[in-house]
């Protein structure tokens, strides 16, 4: 798969440093999380793809037929395409670590890639994901660090589905942290700090795992 499979932006970082992929929410584009990624990991190379599906003009990473009702065939297509895009950038950059961060629809495609190719990301931050199906992990998530952030009053991502996703990931061996706030679908400061901790601490933990 090509590094140019998606329209994307790339912010260069330190040679050989971490590679951070950021995935926007519905209706946004490749600019939404670039600055956020740079704030979280100043020395990382940031890669931000634009979703290749249009929902009434709003960019998404895969199709849906209603709120929380996914076109599973298109999700499978998008997952395979995104995994190839990530692999191509990783092979070219040869980074010290590979991280992913996604918000809303971006969190959903990131989660789906994690399920399909658990070896790709050392750590992933899923901000307000909605996974209304039972994932089939193609391998083991042992040694992978995953943060889920969520709002207890999120009208799009019900808390019970967040808890169910946590249980699925733990059952497949992932090191999972869940960061809650009492609001809705918005990102709050405690989520940002939790993501910063994840990406700061994950490389050291992974070195320990490999020892």
Asked whether the beta carbons of 60 and 71 are under 8 A apart, the reply is no
Question: What is the radius of gyration, based on Cα positions, of the chain?
Answer: 16
Beta-strand relationship, 123-127 and 145-151: parallel
Is residue 54 part of the annotated active site? The answer reads: no
Active-site position among 29, 122, 154, 172: 154
Active-site position among 24, 48, 89, 104: 104
How far is the C-alpha of 40 from the C-alpha of 112, rounded, in Å?
A: 23
Residue among 68, 145, 159 nearest 105 (CA): 68
143 exposure class (CB count in 10 Å sphere: 0-12, 13-18, 19+): middle
Active-site position among 52, 96, 185, 209: 185
Is residue 104 part of the annotated active site? The answer reads: yes
Dihedral of CA atoms 163, 165, 171, 176 in degrees, nearest 10, equals: -80
Is residue 154 part of the annotated active site? The answer reads: yes
Structure tokens at 172: 């497949």
Q: Which residue has the tokens 């329209």?
A: 7
Catalytic residue numbers?
104, 154, 185
């Amino acid at each position: 798969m090509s590094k140019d499979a998606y329209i994307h932006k790339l912010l260069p970082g330190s040679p050989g440093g971490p590679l951070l992929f950021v995935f926007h929410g519905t209706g946004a584009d490749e600019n939404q999380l670039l600055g956020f990624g740079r704030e979280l990991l100043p020395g990382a190379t940031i890669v931000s793809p634009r979703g290749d599906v249009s929902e009434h003009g709003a960019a998404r990473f895969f199709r849906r037929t209603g709120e929380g009702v996914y076109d599973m065939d298109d999700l499978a297509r998008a997952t395979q395409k995104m995994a190839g895009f990530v692999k191509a950038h990783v092979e070219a950059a040869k980074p010290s670590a590979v991280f992913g961060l996604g918000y809303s629809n971006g969190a959903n495609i990131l989660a789906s890639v994690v399920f399909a190719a658990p070896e790709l990301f050392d750590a992933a931050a899923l901000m307000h994901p909605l996974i209304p199906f039972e994932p089939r992990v193609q391998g083991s998530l042992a040694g992978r660090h995953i943060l889920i952030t969520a709002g207890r009053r999120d009208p799009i991502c019900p808390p019970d589905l967040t808890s169910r996703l946590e249980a699925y990931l733990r059952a497949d061996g992932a090191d999972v942290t869940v960061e809650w706030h009492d609001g809705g679908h918005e990102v709050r400061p405690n989520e940002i700090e939790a993501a910063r901790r994840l990406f700061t601490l994950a490389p050291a933990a992974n070195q320990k795992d490999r020892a």
